Amino acid sequence: MKKAYLLLADGTLFEGKAVGYEGSSTGEVVFNTGMAGYQEVLTDPSYYGQTVCMTYPLIGNYGINFEDYESRKSWVSGFIMRELCEYPSNFRCKTTLDAYLKSQKVVGLAGIDTRRLTRILRNSGVMNGIIYTEGFEPDAAAIEQMKQYVVKDAVAAVTVGERVVRPADGEQKYRIALLDFGVKYNIERELCARGCEVTVLPALTDPQDVLSGGYDGIMLSNGPGDPAENTQVVENLKVLIASGIPIFGICLGHQLMALAIGAKTQKMRFGHRGVNHPVKDIDADRTYITSQNHGYAVVGETVDPAIARVRYVNLNDGSVEGLEHIGRPIFTVQYHPEVCPGPMDTSYLFDRFLENIDSHKGGNR
């Protein structure tokens, strides 16, 4: 059995065993605290450029199936777990996690003290690292490169090349334009299931084209990377906001909308990645358990209260979890109502989006 290693930017070295693809890969090392849902995590485009460490020790227990992909491929730079299950068991299981990692060329590392790694990341913040199989040891230059690594041009890397139309399940009631910054399939599924025909558009689609497409509303997807990097998208969003069309933004979509109204985003120490984050809806005085995956957050004080207000906050650290625009049918959330993985408690937000569309249509009439 081959060994594999993780070298962190601070010089910490973890030795474990090689799983998945053999090779070497640099990324921003992050941890995810979900106890299930590794298949969704692997295929979530928001993890582009990141090496993910699962805090739950037993990964791969139910294998890989054909239904739970969240995009067409895996995007992670590397995958770290304590123990990879060799004999998965589940009625939908089609292959093992190991085989999948190999097929996706994801360099894997197992058999390390993942809790120790997590504690390092928690205390010092996310850190770059290089994960490599025995025989692929990095040289000094590669290590230096790793230290300098930043996730760049992430949206461009994950967005669709050209528009794709997904028909509604059953009777079509709405036409939705979905700007793809790295969309998870389940955003599309949730909309289609509610009678939406969803047109997935490349991230940099001209806003006029969007507005002239005859859509009832615009969905802004999740996605990877530093939101502030996407200056053109932000400019485009300003046009869409001004049009008055109903918009719903999730995760990166939420951050980009915040930037478009003049707010700022900042990098968090280690972000939120898991399925147990409590978010309080201040209006309703209700707290929901949400699925999250983000390393940047909107700075609350920079949101102009004349344009939008912070309606959702994280109960643990008070960070901004969602904005409600004043006088416009626009709201955005930092968390993932489409889940996959995670608790489905906030999927009603899709209904709210469609209600906004209904009343907007009514208002127009």
**So which residues are the catalytic ones?**
251, 336, 338
Stated as kind and residue range, the H or E segment containing 315 is: none
Q: Tell me the closest approach of the beta carbon of residue 118 to other proteins, in angstroms.
A: 4
Q: By CB under 8 A, name the one of 34, 49, 223, 246 that touches other proteins.
A: 34
Regarding 319 and contact with other proteins (CB under 8 A), the answer is no
Residue among 118 and 332 whose Cβ is closer to other proteins: 118
Task: For residue 132, give both structure tokens.
Answer: 């490599």
Between 56 and 296, CB nearer to other proteins: 56
> Considering only residues 23, 33, 134, 169, which one is a binding residue for other proteins as defined by CB under 8 A?
33
Q: Is residue 1 close enough to count as binding other proteins by CB under 8 A?
A: no
Residue 341, classed as helix, strand or coil, is coil
Whole-Å CA distances, 268 to 36, 41, 42, 108 = 24, 20, 22, 25
Region of 133-141, 158-166, 209-217, 342-350 interacting with other proteins (CB under 8 A): 342-350
d(CA 72, CA 286): 35
Closest by CA to 320, choosing from 289, 340, 294, 348, is 294
In whole angstroms, the minimum distance from the beta carbon of 58 to other proteins comes to: 7
236: enclosing H helix or E strand? helix 231-243
94 binds other proteins (CB under 8 A): no
In 22-66, DSSP assigns E strands to 24-32, 50-54, 58-59
Residue 287 makes contact with other proteins by CB under 8 A:
yes
Among 73, 115, 152, 269, binds other proteins (CB under 8 A): 115
Q: Does 66 bind other proteins (CB under 8 A)?
A: no
In angstroms, the Cα distances linking 19 to 26, 61, 102, 185, 268 are: 16, 15, 8, 27, 30
Q: What is the largest CA-CA distance in the chain?
A: 68
Report DSSP state, residue 95. B
Question: Near other proteins by CB under 8 A, which window of 159-167, 223-231, 269-277, 353-361?
Answer: 269-277
Of the two residues 53 and 177, which places its CB atom closer to other proteins in the complex? 53
Give me the least distance between CB of 194 and other proteins, in Å please. Answer: 17
Closest by CA to 79, choosing from 51, 40, 48, 59, is 51
Element (H, E) at 357: helix 348-364
Residues that bind other proteins (CB under 8 A): 31, 33-37, 39-40, 55-58, 61-62, 65, 67-68, 82-83, 85-92, 113-116, 118-119, 122, 274-278, 280, 285-289, 315-316, 339-345
